[in-house]
Amino acid sequence: MTHTRRGYKMEQRDLTGSGDEKSHTNGGDRVAARKADHLEICLSQDVSFRRLTTGFEQMQLVHCALPEVALDRVDTGTTFLGRALSMPLMITGMTGGFAQAEEVNTRLAQACQSQRVALGLGSQRQLLENQQHLRSFSAVRELAPDIPLVGNIGAAQVAQRGGLGAVERILRMVEVDALAVHLNPLHEALQPEGDTDFGGVLAALQQLVEELPVPVIVKETGAGISKEVAQRLADIGVRYIDVSGAGGTSWAAVEYYRGADPRLAEKFWDWGIPTALCLQELRSIPGLHVLASGGVRDGLDVAKALVLGAEMAGAAAPFLKALFAQEGPTVEELIAQWREELRLAMFLTGCAEVERLREVRYFLKGRFMEGR
């Protein structure tokens, strides 16, 4: 199948690479093939949660009939990692480390640069084994010099494969403003080749926080971060947490289609903490910069995430699908749509700046809640 977007064309069947690539036995090629599988499955299959939702759909923001601001004066801008953005949005890490990933990442980088939103890279784990596809990561900064760029590595890999030294090597290869370290025990447990040894992760994270020259963002991958885990992270000095809650893409579903134990993958398809609940729980922990991803699907969801205490919202799946869709908005157009939806939500709640959203009340199943 060919996906065309105003001159952008990619053969979806090529995402998995050639048969020769899949037949390689070294670790880097196995990781590359797995990354290609993940991307293709997210494009071709319904990997959404089946029953569990983000919780955003249960929230109704309290309407302000007297906003006392002109709509065109509502400012959706913010600053993240020292860089000015047009709105508090990050296209979160999707891919990298295989042949066609460079085209995906460079296209996303161009969109994020033009629309002034942040961009996350996919897992850079493969760079620990070889640098064959380094350009799929390093080309991004060349095309997006002015926006926050966030690197990405798995927590289990940090703990078991060289720790600080390995991460420093990756940071020297790719210029980033922060490093996301993802916690994904469910995903690792369901992958046939998963790394399920999470021993020593907390100590490894503490070392990274104390010694890396860039901030560390600890994130989940769709199952959420609880208040208890967030407090343990805060206690070792972590200041940035992306809750990446349940309700969007289920990585149990992705592994189901990759050939994991189907009984086990289906049983845990809806495992996780809803994104809205994660945000509600983490508000009580002082000193945290909270990011909200996991099922964020439009500008109104972004507004609701900020009402619940997030400083930034993130999404991947909607922008990945926009990148490949033959019809509908481009990635740039979708970002602009979300920004206008956020602007209108701010106007209708009387907020001239995004920081004011934290003060907005909302009701949930008939019960009014204070913004703080």
pLDDT per residue of the chain (372 residues) written in tens, 0 to 9: 333 334 333 443 344 343 333 333 455 577 778 888 999 999 999 999 999 999 999 999 999 999 999 999 999 999 999 999 999 999 998 887 777 888 899 999 999 999 999 999 988 877 877 777 788 888 899 999 999 999 999 998 888 866 788 889 888 888 999 999 999 999 999 998 888 999 999 999 999 999 999 999 999 999 999 999 999 999 999 999 999 999 999 999 999 999 889 999 999 999 999 999 999 999 999 999 999 999 999 999 999 999 999 999 999 999 999 999 999 999 999 999 999 999 999 999 999 999 999 999 999 876 666 655
Residue 2 host element (H or E): strand 2-5
- DSSP assigned state of 162: T
Q: Which helix (H) or strand (E) holds 228?
A: helix 227-235
- Give the tokens for residue 240: 């940035």
Which residue, 208, 207, 188, 187, is CA-closest to 197? 188
Quote the radius of gyration of the chain (alpha carbons, Å).
Answer: 20
Identify any residues that bridge with 343 across adjacent strands, giving them in sequence order: none
Element (H, E) at 84: strand 83-85
pLDDT of amino acid 370: 62
3-state secondary structure 19-79: HHHHHCCCHHHHHHHHHHHHHHHHHHCCCECCCCCCCHHHEEECCCCCCCCCHHHCECCEE
pLDDT of residue 282: 98
Of the CA atoms within 13 Å of residue 280, those in its CB half-sphere come to: 13
Work out the number of other CB atoms within 10 angstroms of the CB of residue 116. 19
The answer to whether 195 and 154 have CB atoms below 8 angstroms apart is yes
What's residue 82's pLDDT?
97
pLDDT computed for residue 165 by the predictor: 86
Q: Return the sign of the alpha-carbon dihedral for residues 37, 38, 41, 42.
A: negative
Q: Do residues 3 and 324 make contact, with C-beta atoms less than 8 angstroms apart?
A: yes
Question: In this structure, are residues 1 and 13 in contact, taking their beta carbons and an 8 Å threshold?
Answer: yes
pTM, 2 dp = 0.91
Report the C-alpha dihedral over residues 96, 323, 334, 123, rounded to 10 degrees: -10
Q: Which residues contact 6 (CB under 8 A, 6 or more apart)?
A: 330
Q: According to the model, what pLDDT value does residue 25 have?
A: 41
Contacts of the segment 326-334: beta carbons below 8 A, 24+ positions apart: 326/3, 326/4, 326/5, 330/5, 330/6, 330/111, 331/91, 331/107, 331/108, 331/111, 332/111, 332/114, 332/115
Give the whole-angstrom CA distance, residue 269 versus residue 246: 10
Burial of residue 20 (CB within 10 Å: 0-12, 13-18, 19+) is: exposed
Neighbours of 367 (CB within 10 A): 7
